């Protein structure tokens, strides 16, 4: 099912850029929040997922300092 991906960046200087949220589409016709949700008449509440699944966290460790500390 569709989910939110939270991307957190950790820099060499110790600063952390808090998560950017990105919606990830599952591309399923039986998911109400997907861009691929079926458009025909159907009992959506009974046959389709109605919500996003749990968020997926990604932590990226950068080998540079953050922009505030003069890094790239």
Strand 3-10 versus strand 16-24 pairing type: antiparallel
3-state secondary structure 22-39: EEECCCCCCECCCCCCCC
Task: Provide the residue ranges of all domains of the chain, joining segments of one domain with +.
Answer: 3-61
pTM for the predicted model, two decimal places? 0.66
With beta carbons less than 8 A apart as the criterion, state whether 71 and 54 touch.
no
Give the residues of the chain that fall short of pLDDT 50: none
- Phi/psi zone of residue 27: left (φ > 0), alpha (ψ -120 to 50 degrees), beta? left
């Amino acid at each position: 099912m569709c989910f939110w991906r939270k991307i957190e960046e950790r820099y060499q200087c110790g600063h952390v850029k808090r998560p950017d949220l990105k919606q990830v589409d599952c591309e399923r016709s039986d998911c109400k929040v997907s861009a691929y949700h079926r458009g025909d008449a159907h009992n959506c509440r009974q046959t389709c997922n109605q919500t996003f699944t749990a968020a997926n966290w990604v932590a990226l460790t950068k080998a540079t300092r953050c922009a505030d500390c003069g890094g790239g």
